[in-house]
Homo-oligomer: A and B are copies of this chain.
Amino acid sequence: MANQTPELPVRPGRRRSTSQHELERVAFELFARQGFDATTVDEIARGAGIGRRTFFRYFDSKNDVVWGSFGEHLERMREHFRRCPPGQPLLDALRTVVVEFNRVDPEDVPWHRRRMELILRVPALQAHSTLRYADWRAVVAEFAAGRLGVPPDALKPQALAYAALGVALAAYEHWLADPGSDLCAVLDAAMTDLARGFGS
Contact = CB atoms under 8 A, between A and B. Distances in A.
How many identical chains are in the complex? 2
A170 B166 contact: no
Interface residues of A, number: 39
Contacts of A196: 197
Nearest to A63: B127
Given A155-B189, A166-B166, 4 more contacts: A89-B199, A153-B177, A159-B166, A162-B167
A165 interface: yes
Given A162-B167, A170-B155, A170-B162, A197 B91 contact: yes
A25 interface: no
A158 B130 contact: no
The majority secondary structure among interface residues of chain A is helix
Interface in A152-194: 153, 155-156, 158-167, 169-171, 173-174, 177, 186, 189-190, 193-194
Nearest to A127: B127
A137 to B, nearest CB: 9
A167 B90 CA distance: 17
